[in-house]
Amino acid sequence: MVIGTLAMSEHIEHFATADVDQHERLDFWNRLASETFNGLSIDSSQETFNAELWRWKLGDLTMTRPRSPNASVHRNADIARQSGENVILHMQHAGSCLHTQGREVHTLRAGDFVLADSNKDYRVDLHGVNDMLVVEMPRAKLAERIPQLQNNLSKRIRGESPSSRLLHDFLLSLWRQGDQSGADPHWLKGVSGVFFDLLSMAVSDTHEFGAGDHKIMNKMMALIETRICDPDLRTSMLADELGVSIRTVQSAFAAIGETPSAYILDRRLTRAADRLVAAPQLSVTGIAYEVGFNDCSYFTRCFKQKYGVSPTAYRAKH
C-alpha cells in the first residue's frame, strides 16, 4: 500500500499492515505514523506486526484509532512542534499501556486517558492487542476551556468518572457514525465544540474517590475487561474474585452512578458493536456468545435498546 499525501483527507482512511509484505510492515507503520503525527516512531519486537489504523481529519481535530500488538511508541517534541502548539489525547479503549512523559509515568486501562504535551517528548508502551483513541488538537482551544491546562497535562484521568465515560462514548459514537466528509461545516464545528466541552468536563471533574475506592474500582474495571466474555460474570463473581463483599462492589459502582450489572451489560454491547464492524466474517450469534451472552434473542433486544437498530442492521450501516 502506498501512503498518500501529507495533507490528510476529510474522509476516514483505513490502513492495514496485512496489505504489506511481512518484512516491510514495521517500516510501513513508521512512515504512516510520522506522516500522521510529526516526530512519531514505533519500535516492536513482533515477528509478525499486524496492525490497523483509521485516520480522520474532523475540523481542527486529527483523529486516529490505531490497533496494534506490543510496541513502543516515541514522539520527538522538537519535530512535533512543527505542527504547532498542540495537545494529544491518548485514550485507552482496549488493552493497556504505560504512558511516560517527563517524570509522569502512568498505566492506562480501558477508559483512562492522558493529555500529552507536544512540547515534551513522550513514550507509550503498548501491552498486548491494543486499541486506542488518539486526538491531536490545538492547545489554544483547549486552554480557553481549561485555564489551568498546564497543570493537567501528562496526568492520568481515570476512566470511571461519569464525564470520562461520556467522553469515551462520544468518541466511539463518532467513529461508528462513519465518514462525515460531506457534512455541513456548521455540524463539523458543532462536533468539535462538543468534543472540547466534554474533554474539559472530564479533566475538571470534581468527583473524587477515596484511595481505597480507587484501588477497588481499578481492580474491578480490569477484571471486567478480562472476564467480559464469561457469561457467569456478575456482581457475585467480582466480589469473590476481589475478596470483598457484594455490598462493597455495589457501593463502588454507585459512587459513579452505575450498577455492576448495567456496567457489564454496557461493556458487552460496546464490545459487540466493535466486533460487528471489525469482524464481518463472524455471525451475529457468534459475536453474541463471544462477548458473554448465552441468549442471542436477549442480546438482540439489549443491542437494539442501546443502538436503536438490530445487530444485523448496525453492521450493514457501518
CATH of the domain at 251: 1.10.10.60
Residue 155 is assigned to a structural domain of this protein: yes
Same domain assignment for residues 220 and 198: no
Residue 148 CA neighbour count, 13 Å, CB half: 5
Which of 149, 169, 204 is the last residue before a domain boundary? Answer: 204
Same domain assignment for residues 30 and 171: yes
Same domain assignment for residues 167 and 195: yes
Same domain assignment for residues 106 and 238: no
Same domain assignment for residues 161 and 190: yes
- What is the pLDDT tens value at each position of the chain, 318 positions in all? 444 444 556 688 999 999 899 889 999 999 999 999 999 999 998 878 899 999 988 888 999 999 998 899 999 999 988 888 999 999 999 888 999 999 999 999 888 999 999 889 999 999 877 899 999 999 999 999 888 899 899 999 988 777 888 899 899 888 877 666 666 777 777 888 899 999 998 887 644 444 455 677 778 888 888 888 899 999 999 998 888 888 888 888 877 778 899 989 999 999 899 899 888 899 999 999 999 999 999 999 999 999 999 999 999 988
Same domain assignment for residues 174 and 45: yes
Residues 264, 90: Cα–Cα separation, whole Å: 24
Which of 173, 204, 235 is the last residue before a domain boundary? Answer: 204
CATH code for position 136:
2.60.120.10
Same domain assignment for residues 128 and 39: yes
DSSP state letter for 12: P
Same domain assignment for residues 46 and 106: yes
283 touches 300 (CB < 8 A): no
Residue 8 is assigned to a structural domain of this protein: no
Residue 289 is assigned to a structural domain of this protein: yes
| Closest of 204, 238, 33, 215 to residue 132, by C-alpha | 33
State the total domains in the chain: 2
Which domain range does residue 19 map to?
13-204
CB count, 10 Å around CB of 18? 12
Same domain assignment for residues 200 and 283: no
Residue 236 is assigned to a structural domain of this protein: yes
Residue 7 is assigned to a structural domain of this protein: no
Residue 6 is assigned to a structural domain of this protein: no
What confidence score (pLDDT) does residue 181 get?
66
Residues 115, 135: Cα–Cα separation, whole Å: 9
DSSP state letter for 82: G
CA-based angle 6:58:84, to the nearest 5? Answer: 55
Cα dihedral 138, 143, 148, 152 in deg (nearest 10):
-30
Residues 32, 1: Cα–Cα separation, whole Å: 11
Residues 111, 161: Cα–Cα separation, whole Å: 9
The x, y and z cell numbers of residue 103, run together, are 517524570
Residue 24 is assigned to a structural domain of this protein: yes
Give φ, ψ of 186 to 5 degrees: -65, -35
Q: Mapping DSSP to helix (H, G, I), strand (E, B) and coil, where does residue 258 land?
A: coil
The overall pTM is greater than 0.75:
no
Same domain assignment for residues 89 and 27: yes
Reported residue count of the chain is 318
Where would I find the beta strands (DSSP E) of the chain? 13-16, 40-43, 52-58, 61-68, 71-75, 86-101, 104-108, 113-117, 122-138, 156-157
| Closest of 63, 85, 66 to residue 141, by C-alpha | 85
Same domain assignment for residues 83 and 196: yes
Residue 5 is assigned to a structural domain of this protein: no
Which of 169, 204, 239 is the last residue before a domain boundary? Answer: 204
Same domain assignment for residues 120 and 193: yes
The x, y and z cell numbers of residue 31, run together, are 512512515
